[in-house]
Structure 1
Amino acid sequence: MSTVPSARLVLLKDVVECRNGDSIRVTGLWKKYDAGIDLAVIQYDGHEVQVDTAHIDQIWPIEGDIVQCLGEVTEEATFGTVRMSARVIRIVNTLNLDLYEKVVQLRNSTMS
């Protein structure tokens, strides 16, 4: 029986430190989506992640929605951009991104 790894909370600005195969959870603004190649981009505060959506079968966010993507890193930082393969995408529009960033930084600093 295989298990799905727990996704580690990672801020978009820190995702460049992730390696292939890392299971991560990132949060940002849904910037664009290309259904022809199953690729979305989420961004926040000048940082972005490309999200492979080939395994997602759901209603898509619209540009500007705050989303959380859980999945695995499939391509390490190239020119500052990381690509991940999403297994879950959820809309979290009620989330305050500035406060969320502070909480994640605090949480990660106490877990180190």
Structure 2
Amino acid sequence: MTAPTRSCLAACAVLVLAGSVAHAETEPAALVDQQHCMFCHTRDAPFLAPSFQQIAERYRNVPDAQFKLEHKLRLGGKAHWGDMAMPLPADRGGPLSADDAHTLVQWVLSQ
């Protein structure tokens, strides 16, 4: 492989990785609206539930956190902070696909 080809491949890899990071940090606004996330959460301050930043800080380095949070988002769940539980999907805007739950959790954990 020639040096220019290696340089081109390296540049492409950097762009792909940068796109992945940017994607995770870009708010999935349609999903946030559909699931009524902002009814209970804010980005940076507790409201009726913990902020997205608090959730990220608590779970960022927890093994299997992504899976556990996606599961809770898709099915609802008991309160882990305060008295408010994650509402059932029917009470938040309807069912959430595994891919959409993954997108939301990635975004929250990127805060």
Q: Structure 1 length normalisation: TM-score?
A: 0.27
Greater RCO, 1 or 2 (C-alpha within 8 Å, sep 6+): 2
Greater Cα radius of gyration, structure 1 or 2: 2
The structure with the greater share of residues assigned to strand is 1
